[in-house]
């Protein structure tokens, strides 16, 4: 051990005492005996959500019924919630719509990007380490549009993009390793090659600053149940840059994205603005639960979130180095701040799955990715430095012979 455990525990207490985001922890439902480090899979429950859902069910659905589409603002919820998300990813109002799943929105964005491409552009570049579903959807989009798929490492996308590239689909943060990819640089390089780019923000939105407008991103998608704490299966979102919206040709036109939905016309005329990204009837209960969950972000600065995220992950890595026997685990998350998201992934060559099961049994909740990766997600709104120190201490016990 390179540092004394008592010193690290005292340091954790001091860091928590100086943490400006610490009061936000009280806004979440968290077990007193659990160290929850799985916010990169499912965020904790904000306390406002249960009461909001009860009100929606009892009053808006129960008493007002169908009148709530207008009187309770149900009809405009996808755009209203989308603008709340847009504020967290650097998008001005009117460019983000909330709804559907990440997979569905990936499909919309990739096919629409191919349809925007010029003649001879028949290649879809895919991040070789992408979350599997993104790859499946991209492959389906390629079959439907007559394109070919080419998988390359995210860092190689700038060199790989060429005259045949229609669109590149890239994950902002690698879900296995926590590696943060260069969104501004990759976007600029893909544009220089004459192509479009679709970014998957599932592991970055709510964990670090994202500047979609400033960086000229074409399309972006993401889920809301990780760092945005929207709840299991909460609606995803789709960003379409304002200049592209008039030419956004969704492969899934639905009555909800029609310019006049209630005309029930047999011919499709797309709505203007972000509503063009809608498809069918919104899932109102989960959408309004998400809206309540997003209230916790009011007044929160993403720069402060990022600073705490980096401090937490740095501290956790120090604690792991101090407590865990040498060789038992190895970090596969970049040490360089500019290349790190808000998680730490540790390769555990000896029984990683069983180690995570033991951690969970002892009250430290992370997750496991085959074949040998332990993942620990740090949600700065509610994760404490004491949690990081405790998790490393328990990890050392779990990997002990």
Instruction: Summarize the annotated binding site for pyridoxal 5'-phosphate as residue ranges.
Output: 102-103, 131-134, 200, 203, 225, 255, 281
**How many Å separate Cα 1 from the centre of its chain?**
35
Inter-CA distances, 5 with 1, 17, 388, 389, 396, Å: 9, 18, 12, 9, 12
Active site residue 200: yes
Q: Which residues pair with 72 in a beta bridge?
A: none
Active site residue 4: no
Active site residue 308: no
> Which is catalytic among the residues 84, 121, 276, 375?
375
Active site residue 25: no
The kind and range of the H/E element at 135 are: helix 132-145
Active site residue 375: yes
Cβ atoms < 10 Å from Cβ of 56? 21
d(CA 212, CA 107): 19
> Which is catalytic among the residues 200, 367, 372, 387?
200
> Which is catalytic among the residues 28, 131, 219, 382?
131
Q: Which residues contact 51 (CB under 8 A, 6 or more apart)?
A: 292
Q: Provide the strand spans (E) within 80-212.
A: 96-98, 123-127, 148-152, 165-171, 196-200
Q: Are 166 and 195 in contact, with CB atoms under 8 Å apart?
A: yes
Q: Which residues contact 15 (CB under 8 A, 6 or more apart)?
A: 311, 315, 385
> Which is catalytic among the residues 121, 179, 196, 226?
226
Place of tokens 């077990």: 31
* Sheet architecture: strand order including 343-347: 330-331, 343-347, 373-377, 367-369
> Which is catalytic among the residues 175, 225, 227, 323?
225
- Residues in binding site: 102-103, 131-134, 200, 203, 225, 255, 281
Active site amino acids: 131, 200, 225-226, 375
């Amino acid at each position: 051990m390179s540092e004394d455990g008592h010193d690290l525990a005292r340091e954790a207490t001091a860091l928590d005492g100086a943490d400006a985001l610490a009061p936000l922890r009280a806004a979440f439902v968290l077990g007193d005996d659990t160290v929850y480090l799985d916010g990169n899979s499912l965020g904790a429950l904000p306390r406002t959500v249960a009461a909001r859902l009860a009100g929606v069910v009892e009053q808006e659905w129960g008493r007002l019924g169908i009148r709530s589409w207008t009187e309770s603002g149900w009809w405009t919820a996808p755009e209203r919630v989308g603008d709340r998300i847009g504020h967290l990813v650097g998008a001005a109002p009117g460019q983000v719509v909330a709804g559907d799943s990440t997979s569905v929105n990936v499909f919309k964005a990739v096919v629409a990007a191919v349809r925007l491409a010029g003649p001879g552009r028949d290649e879809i570049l895919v991040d070789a380490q992408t979350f599997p579903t993104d790859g499946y959807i991209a492959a389906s989009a390629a079959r439907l549009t007559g394109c070919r798929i080419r998988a390359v490492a995210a860092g190689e996308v700038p060199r790989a993009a060429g005259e045949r590239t229609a669109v590149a689909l890239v994950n902002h943060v690698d879900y296995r390793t926590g590696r943060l990819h260069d969104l501004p640089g990759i976007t600029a390089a893909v544009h220089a090659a004459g192509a479009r780019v679709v970014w998957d923000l599932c592991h970055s939105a709510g964990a670090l600053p994202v500047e979609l407008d400033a960086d000229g991103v074409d399309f972006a998608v993401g889920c809301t149940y990780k760092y945005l704490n929207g709840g299991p299966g909460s609606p995803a979102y789709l960003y379409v840059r304002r200049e592209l919206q008039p030419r956004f040709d969704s492969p899934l036109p639905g009555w909800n994205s029609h310019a006049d939905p209630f005309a029930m016309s047999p011919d499709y005329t797309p709505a203007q603005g972000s509503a063009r990204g809608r498809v069918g009837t919104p899932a109102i209960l989960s959408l309004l639960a998400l809206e309540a969950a997003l209230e916790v972000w009011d007044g929160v600065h993403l720069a402060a979130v990022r600073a705490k995220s980096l401090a937490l992950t740095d501290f956790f890595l120090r604690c792991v180095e101090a407590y865990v026997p040498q060789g038992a685990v190895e970090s596969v998350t970049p040490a360089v701040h500019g290349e790190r998201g808000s998680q730490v992934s540790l390769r555990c060559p000896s029984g990683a799955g069983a180690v995570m099961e033991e951690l969970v049994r002892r009250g430290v909740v992370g997750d496991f990715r085959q074949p040998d990766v332990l993942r620990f997600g740090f949600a700065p709104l509610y994760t404490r430095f004491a949690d990081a120190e405790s998790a490393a201490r328990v990890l050392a016990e779990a990997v002990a012979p």
